[in-house]
Structure 1
């Protein structure tokens, strides 16, 4: 009977039992030297990506060793056993969740939205239930217009972020947020300015997800403050997930020439140069960052800004063949746009200074697309003329194999 009653209910999970990275109940809690505890699989993945910091505190780790937190594991085990035997008195049923949403516009309190956020976060079944309820999704979005309290808005954005992967949700949110007479986009600006790190990431992901067509992309990009705050997010935050979310959102909305020019004005080229030259090694971050740079390089102002930023140009060369195939192809496209198409002499000089011609030749003989191979050939012609004193000055671009030294 107790188990039947528990079906469809949400049991509040003590925050101490959740992994700070995955936000799931920890199966094998381990502690770093900073004293912070994570689930073993989550922290192993973080460290394997080349990070040397504690994700929660961002302290540099003098040691990446971790030890099992046996006490906490025992507490989690006892708690899970207790939940199977007896449902929590604070459990929330699906009907209770809908009832809260019906009155949420009048309540407009962070406590009410937090309950819904916890309900949606708890299980895939709850997320699917919420996403399939047009009344629930419409109600939670409508609540945004009644309060500008940061904590209240953060809970709503957290709910929307949790259901983004469910079928039809992105299209539904696009209609509710962008095709309505209510200015819901204005709520995203203070979240990106003053919200927590997680809410900034969630806001960027929601914006990316609703940028489904040209009109939607333009509406987001033209909303005063949004484009600037997204640029600020990737320039000021060091968290890889924040950078990735911000860059992805900028890629999604940067489809018109005026928007690309604005990105240049906001210093996105300089920001990307710093990212490329930094210690970040995550392939997803590098791939998306170079894709954004490729987008910016399609306008005259973008090519000029890239050519004038030596750190950016050398950063591109540094990342060639070091990340994914897609990242390398984005990098070659940017170099071709600046060095070959725009004939930027400063950029050509910068590429030559870091032995870029050898890197381009290596890409040329790799498993890249025909278009990228052609761009590599154009780059070799331009760069060997610019660096005529190089031993590669007479290298024939149709050669299919070289032996790098």
Structure 2
């Protein structure tokens, strides 16, 4: 950003001087000054585009340390980015490389602002400008400061949200879908500041009912799965940042809930599940399920078999799927749905008990406790007792620092196993522990 803002006078003043670039400012891969520094879990910082290419090539280690990467999440290093920008504002242009092509024309921020004006122009087709804005926000070579400048521009979020809402009658599905892509790029990108993400949520919440209807429409009829996933991510942003009244509007939309359940289903005739769609849809459903009066409606629309299918297919997000089932057993309809499919649902819950983190494990115990202990449904008790390794998982959970409530529920479930699963009382041996249930 600094080199775009430097005027001719400053460039002439420093021309010919050799400026030493701090090593900390150089990407370990490209050795160029970083414009979008991001950190791996190893603590090493890289230029976003460089490390993304490394990861996309199938590498599973940190290039600098060669340590294995348990996570490939890229966390923006905002402090380093500001230091580089401050340094660049006083350094010679030669120290930070040749001028960007945009330096001879409008700056990226100005170009994006012009696109936004085209979107807002009365009577104009907003789709071409919206597509260019989506490309601008997803381009790794565009400075993150410029992206945030667009997101915080006065009226930007409101303009985009209005296009999404009026797409129901005026601009059509194509415009609504294009607006969703831009809004989701702001609401979910790691490089966008949290305050700017909240601006999007606030703009969407201004007319929550129309927003929900438009998002449901994109989920139902969007031309591409990516647009449908982005619509679900906007629902998630709305649930996370909006006021309780808005969350209730989202949760009580039968049309939207039905489309979210459909989103986590098979995407083709072969029954394949898309992990991005599963993650986005389940995250929304888990948040909606927190609203008590929406649970029975979710169950009626098929949330229980959908969540069980995700667990069986191992399609990712086990913690979210278990949270949906945990909410479902809070109503009679949900318990009935799990009991009716006990032969498939209970083994699926047990098998994923230790694969969804502590939240997932405690949700799994809550599900089992509700149907096996509190309501003592014979089908679920028999199905749980027949699960291989169920006892071991409960014992491991009790030793893993779970909550007091989860430990008590696991303890009560062990009694059921003791009575109904004598064949499962064998010890469990591993290199790390040796457990005997009693």
- Whether these two folds match at TM > 0.5 is yes
- Paired residue for 2:152? 132
Local SS of the residue matching 1:39: helix
- Paired residue for 1:176? 203
Gaps of 5+ in 2: 8-46, 62-67, 71-96, 268-272, 427-432
* 2: CA distance, partners of 1:111 / 1:209: 25
- Paired residue for 1:239? 274
- Paired residue for 1:78? none
Deviation at 1:167, TM superposition (A): 2.8
Residue 360 of structure 2 is aligned to residue 340 of structure 1: no
Does the CA contact (< 8 Å) of 2:109 and 2:147 recur in 1? no
TM-score scaled to structure 1, two decimals?
0.73
Indicate the RMSD between aligned Cα atoms, in angstroms.
3.4
Cα distance change of structure 1 residues 153 and 92 upon mapping to structure 2, 3 Å threshold: farther
* 2: CA distance, partners of 1:45 / 1:272: 32
Does the CA contact (< 8 Å) of 2:391 and 2:424 recur in 1? no
Gaps of 5+ in 1: 8-23, 29-37, 51-81, 394-399
TM-score scaled to structure 2, two decimals?
0.68
Counterpart of 2:396 (choices 362, 377, 384) is: 362
Residue 277 of structure 2 is aligned to residue 263 of structure 1: no
Larger radius of gyration: 2
* 2: CA distance, partners of 1:209 / 1:378: 38
Cα distance change of structure 1 residues 311 and 83 upon mapping to structure 2, 3 Å threshold: farther
Deviation at 1:92, TM superposition (A): 6.0
Cα distance change of structure 1 residues 6 and 200 upon mapping to structure 2, 3 Å threshold: farther
Does the CA contact (< 8 Å) of 1:131 and 1:169 recur in 2? yes
Residue 340 of structure 2 is aligned to residue 308 of structure 1: yes
Does the CA contact (< 8 Å) of 1:120 and 1:130 recur in 2? no
Residue 160 of structure 2 is aligned to residue 115 of structure 1: no
Local SS of the residue matching 1:184: helix
* 2: CA distance, partners of 1:344 / 1:215: 37
Does the CA contact (< 8 Å) of 1:336 and 1:379 recur in 2? yes
Counterpart of 1:382 (choices 409, 416, 432) is: 416
- Paired residue for 1:150? 173
- Paired residue for 1:327? 360
- Paired residue for 1:215? 245
* Superimposed CA distance per residue, residues 185-241 of structure 1 (whole angstroms, 9 cap, x where no aligned partner): 222122112321221111111111112343112211233511100000012341111
Higher relative contact order (CA 8 A, sep 6+): 1
Does the CA contact (< 8 Å) of 2:4 and 2:103 recur in 1? no
- Paired residue for 2:325? 293
* Superimposed CA distance per residue, residues 277-298 of structure 1 (whole angstroms, 9 cap, x where no aligned partner): 1243x4xx11111122212222
* 1: CA distance, partners of 2:331 / 2:338: 11
Deviation at 1:4, TM superposition (A): 3.5
Deviation at 1:327, TM superposition (A): 1.8
* 2: CA distance, partners of 1:227 / 1:302: 15
* 2: CA distance, partners of 1:169 / 1:275: 33
Cα distance change of structure 1 residues 26 and 194 upon mapping to structure 2, 3 Å threshold: farther
Local SS of the residue matching 2:194: coil
- The farther-off stretch of 212-221 and 175-184 is 175-184
Counterpart of 1:253 (choices 285, 288, 303) is: 288
* 1: CA distance, partners of 2:174 / 2:48: 23
Does the CA contact (< 8 Å) of 2:4 and 2:107 recur in 1? no
* 2: CA distance, partners of 1:199 / 1:391: 47
Local SS of the residue matching 1:368: coil
Does the CA contact (< 8 Å) of 1:178 and 1:219 recur in 2? no
Cα distance change of structure 1 residues 116 and 6 upon mapping to structure 2, 3 Å threshold: farther
Pairs aligned (count): 338
Deviation at 1:91, TM superposition (A): 6.2
